[in-house]
Structure 1
Amino acid sequence: MESLDLRVLGDVLAWRQAGRRVTLVTVVETWGSAPRPPGALLAVREDGVVSGSVSGGCVEDDLIARIKAGEYDALAHPSMVAYGVSKEEAARFGLPCGGTLRLVQEPVKDVTWIEEVLQRTSSHQLVARTVKLSTGEVTLREAARTDALQFDGITLTTLFGPRWRLLLIGAGQLSQAVAHMAKLLDFEVLVCDPREEYAAMLGLDGVTRVMGMPDDVVLELKPDAHTAIVALTHDSKLDDMALMEALNSDAFYVGALGSRRNQATRKQRLMEHFDLSVEALERLHGPVGLNIGAKTPAEIAVSIIAQIVQVKNAAAAAPVATESSCVKA
């Protein structure tokens, strides 16, 4: 699950606590070139205000119109709706030719499950939520990364994962550019730099400075599959110690600044002095970032963030388990 979808849940919680009526819409199945993947969320308030998206276009407009017209006021339990079943409907709703979306729409009444999901994901837990369409009953359980969205026409199980986070080793100009771009992508951004003269430059809102030596910080962070770590100090005493711990962690991305020659020397050093395996060293992205001919700190930051997103999306991709024979339009 993307951080955007967690933000949708946060908006739903705030709206319900303010006494507003909210319909939560979840993409459960797609065929063809559907714009949003299964699991994507859209929340629609009774006055038409929205959070999130299920198509990025006319499907939202149709849902908003229906909700504002009061069509869903009497909706007691979750139900399913389909868009773009025919080529004509696909064209009407702005879907690519042949694209089809099946959605589950549910009136949000009890928000206890939302509070628990937000609390558990903030602690970097992965949560599976199952809703029974006939009653709206919701149950939560701990999930594994091998789990996938499941929908059989009777129950819907979706996954809510922790927010993606990025730990930067170093607080220099490049780190600040990377941090700024990562924030725009809704990463939780952490920066560790024990050098006060550099850390004093760190002044970005929403970026957290983590105190301590980099290797200790990595250990305390307990990097999981939603964590990226990038070493940017150019100081081997700081970078290497952090990389030693990062490469032995579950972080989905580990990168380090430096030329190809420097990276070869670094890998040899890590293998000889820190006993890192060849398999662990193969996880290191170095030189860090995509090769786009970057020269300036901002351009290098673009290349780094682009590679992190590339790896993140590949790591997050998972098959969707569905039983389409049980689904009715």
Structure 2
Amino acid sequence: MDSLDLQVLTQARQWHADGHPVRLVTVIETWGSAPRPPGALLAMRGDGLVVGSVSGGCVEDDLIERVRAGESMNKPSLVTYGVTKEEAARFGLPCGGNLRLVQEPLNDVAWIDEVLARTARHELVARRLDLATGTVTVEAATRGEAFSFDGQVMRALFGPRWRMLIIGAGQLSRVLAQMALALDFEIICCDPREEYHLTWDVPGTTFSTTMPDDLVQELQLDPHSAVVAVTHDPKLDDLALLEALKSPAFYVGALGSRGNTAKRKERLALFDLSAEEIGRLHGPIGLDLGGRTPAEIAVSILAEIVAVRHGVALSQKKPLSHDAPSCQASS
């Protein structure tokens, strides 16, 4: 579940506290080119005010119209949009896409309190809704799970399904951490250097002064983990990379020029790493977006990480024959 959906729950809770009727709408199934994935969440106030999204806008307009027309709702119900080509065109679902939703009245916010409290502790939780009774429970979840609906029970995930370890606490790391939080990553920044860790001030992240290679082992990186090394200090970066490249982490990258990356790979080859493991290193890190500032470099790094996460070919990587300097290849 996108971490931004936590903002939807926060707003829904506030509306409920203010005495407004509130309903939640969740995407449970899509066909064709429906614009929002299963699990996408929207909250609607009784006067039609909305937060969140389940489509590109036309479906939201219809849902708002229903609320303002006085449509009542006492228990969860299913609604489908775009069954015919005419409906798909009307609701802005491209290429005949179809969208199936669950609507439910928000009668109790205790489960929202629990979800927000547990995700604030970096826990991954599942919200379980029984459509027949409207009963909601919150239970622990694991990173390998996904949104599910079996026709009777909906199970939606909240919290960080992905984890990013950032080695180094400089300016780039701060911007990278802030952006990655919005992409559903739990952020751990590691830097044992006192002059750096004393000034780390990114809310919602965890900071560690443990040596990076020790922390990589402690975290037991899994296929939902990414490691980004940006200190420019081989004593910190290389030792962490040595451990990370042997792990199941889906992404391991390091800041540096093509020349420095080649030297780094030569150093790594002196240890017990195979050529295949060394080949997993993304360096120079990031896609070639032509940026120079810390924010632009962070965007290029995150663009590459998102592409790798979704199995998309890295067509924007800087070719090896290109000798012009770039932000992702700085040293």
Bucket of the pairwise TM-score, normalised by the shorter protein: 0.7 to 0.9
- How many angstroms does 1:55 deviate by? 0.3
Q: Secondary structure at the match of 2:232?
A: coil
Work out which of the residue numbers 88, 93, 96 in structure 1 matches 2:94: 96
Which amino acid in 2 is paired with 1:87? K
- How many angstroms does 1:91 deviate by? 2.0
| 1:64 aligned onto 2:61 | no
- How many angstroms does 1:101 deviate by? 0.9
CA distance 1:160–1:189, shift in 2 (3 Å): closer
For 2:6, the equivalent position in structure 1 comes to 6
Q: Secondary structure at the match of 2:94?
A: coil
Work out which of the residue numbers 72, 92, 112 in structure 2 matches 1:114: 112
Work out which of the residue numbers 172, 175, 192 in structure 2 matches 1:174: 172
Which amino acid in 1 is paired with 2:256? G
Which amino acid in 2 is paired with 1:286? G
CA distance 1:122–1:314, shift in 2 (3 Å): farther
Which amino acid in 2 is paired with 1:213? M
Q: Secondary structure at the match of 2:160?
A: coil
More relative contact order, 1 or 2 (CA 8 Å, 6+ apart): 1
Instruction: Give yes or no for contact 2:79–2:100 (8 Å, CA) kept in 1.
Output: yes
The correspondence of residues 108-147 of structure 1 with structure 2, limited to 5 A, is: 108-147=106-145
Work out which of the residue numbers 75, 81, 84 in structure 2 matches 1:77: 75
| 1:286 aligned onto 2:283 | yes
Determine the C-alpha separation between the residues in 1 that align with 2:167 and 2:212.
7
The answer to which of 305-314 and 22-31 deviates more is: 305-314
Task: State the Cα deviation string for residues 240-298 of structure 1 (Å, max 9, x = none).
Answer: 1222343344543221012334334323433434x345554343222211134555544
Task: State the Cα deviation string for residues 20-53 of structure 1 (Å, max 9, x = none).
Answer: 3221111111122111011111111223232211
Determine the C-alpha separation between the residues in 2 that align with 1:188 and 1:150.
22
Determine the C-alpha separation between the residues in 2 that align with 1:183 and 1:76.
36
For 2:27, the equivalent position in structure 1 comes to 27
- State the TM-score, normalized to the length of structure 2: 0.79
For 1:43, the equivalent position in structure 2 comes to 43
- State the TM-score, normalized to the length of structure 1: 0.79
**Which runs of no fewer than 5 residues in structure 2 stay unpaired?**
313-331
User: Percent identity, aligned pairs only?
Assistant: 63
Which amino acid in 1 is paired with 2:280? R
For 1:320, the equivalent position in structure 2 comes to none
For 1:260, the equivalent position in structure 2 comes to 258
Which amino acid in 1 is paired with 2:135? E
- How many angstroms does 1:142 deviate by? 3.9
Instruction: Give yes or no for contact 2:56–2:92 (8 Å, CA) kept in 1.
Output: no
Instruction: Give yes or no for contact 1:122–1:162 (8 Å, CA) kept in 2.
Output: no
Q: Secondary structure at the match of 1:272?
A: coil
Instruction: Give yes or no for contact 2:128–2:156 (8 Å, CA) kept in 1.
Output: yes
For 2:317, the equivalent position in structure 1 comes to none
Determine the C-alpha separation between the residues in 2 that align with 1:307 and 1:170.
19
Determine the C-alpha separation between the residues in 2 that align with 1:294 and 1:112.
45
For 1:302, the equivalent position in structure 2 comes to 299
**Which runs of no fewer than 5 residues in structure 1 stay unpaired?**
316-329
